[in-house]
Amino acid sequence: MINCWYGFIFTDNSSKYLLEEEMKPKLEGLEVVYPDYSGDKLDIKIEPHSDHIIIMRRFADVCRYSTQYMTHRRRFTVEEMMKLAKEEGQLQQLSNLEAFFKLYNSNQGTVFYFNNPSASQTVTLEFNLTLTNLVIRDAKTGANWFRMVLPPESESYKVLIPI
C-alpha cells in the first residue's frame, strides 16, 4: 500500500474580470506541490472564466493546515467604469425630456453616462456638485460644476476621479 495523501484548493473564476488573490499557507506535515511555491505566499491570478488549483501532499503521519487569504480589490479602468455606467448605472430620467443619465459609483470613481435619443432636440444640462475627495476629469483644478450639451441622438460621459 502506498501512503500518499493529497488535498487541493480549487477556485473557479466565473466572472468576466481577472481575479487576483494572495494566499499565505501555514503547513506542518504538508507541502504545496503545485504551483511552484517558495517563500511565504502564493500570488494567484485567475483569468476570467477559468479556474485554478493548488495541490498539497501530506508527507507526515500528522499534519496541520491554516491559511490567510486576501482577494485583491478589482481595479477598473476608466473605460470599464464608463461601460458599467452605460450598462448598469442607476437610471435618472430628466423631467419632460427623452434624455436621461445613468450614474455609476465605485471606490475608484464616479461616471455619468448621458443619452439623448431625441431625433430633433438638443439638451443642455448643468450640474453643480459638492465634491469630497473627487475631481472632475479634464476640468480646471477646483472645478465643482460642469455643463453637458447633448445634440440629437447622442451620448456622452463625465468622469469624476478620486484624489
Query: CA 157, 14, 44: angle at the middle one, nearest 5?
Result: 95
> What is residue 108's three-state secondary structure?
coil
What was the pLDDT predicted at 3?
67
Radius of gyration of the chain (CA): 25
Q: Which residues contact 100 (CB under 8 A, 6 or more apart)?
A: 91, 92, 93, 94, 114, 115
Query: Could you give the CA distance from residue 40 to residue 53 in angstroms, rounded to a whole number?
Result: 18
- The owner of cell 511552484 is 36
Query: Could you give the CA distance from residue 107 to residue 157 in angstroms, rounded to a whole number?
Result: 18
Closest CA to 113 of 124, 102, 123: 102
What was the pLDDT predicted at 137?
93
Domains defined along the chain, listed by start: 5-71 (no CATH), 78-162 (2.60.40)
Which pTM does this prediction carry? Answer: 0.62
What was the pLDDT predicted at 153?
96
pLDDT values of the chain reduced to their tens digit, one per residue, 163 residues = 456 789 999 999 998 888 999 999 999 999 999 998 888 899 999 999 999 999 999 998 889 989 998 988 888 889 999 999 999 989 988 888 899 999 999 888 999 999 999 999 999 999 999 998 999 999 998 899 999 999 999 999 999 999 8
